Amino acid sequence: MWQTGSGTQRNMNINEVLSNRRIQLLGRDLGTQRPVGPNDDVNMGQSSNDTFPTAMHISALLELDNHLIPLPPAVAESIEHKAAEWMDVVKFGRTHLEDAVPLTVGQEWSGWAGQLRNALKAVDFSREGLLELAVGGTAVGTGLTHRRTRFRGLCCPPPKRGVVRSVCLSIAS
């Protein structure tokens, strides 16, 4: 995909398609922008400088919550189980100097589980920044470009994991 600038053309094209599809479903004439207009009703007067980052944040949160975050704890638990099972199995580990240092397979595996859990903490930490959504202000925060400037779903404390859907629904209301 190639895009320059904030993506205004793509954003408005999508809004026009959605507007026309709704008009079509209502049995009205395409292109009339009535009763659903692309800017006021679909885009709600938002700047593509806001909608694109917001869409990316919501998409990333959904991917994290539905696919990435649920998996590592079970994998780490499984690795920890094997680490405990192999705590008495001695092996040689190599240092950067190629020294042969004894350690157990269990020690090695418990380190992997620790790395996985630490990585998940880092993902959780970075996830918090994705909860900040850049929509709701319109026209650099002045509200000038839209007759309805209420975005109730964005004026509440940041949602916790699994609540992204309710924020999206609030935006649409």
pLDDT digits (tens, 9 = 90+) for 80-106: 999 999 999 999 888 777 788 899 999
pLDDT digits (tens, 9 = 90+) for 118-171: 999 999 998 988 887 777 655 555 555 555 544 444 444 444 544 444 444 444
Per residue in 85-95, is it b (16+ CB within 10 Å) or e — as a string? Answer: ebeeeeeeeee
| Helix (DSSP H) and strand (DSSP E) numbers for the chain | 5, 2
Indicate the pTM of the whole model.
Answer: 0.62
Q: Please report, as a single letter, which amino acid is at residue 40.
A: D
Nearest-Å Rg of the Cα atoms of the chain is 25
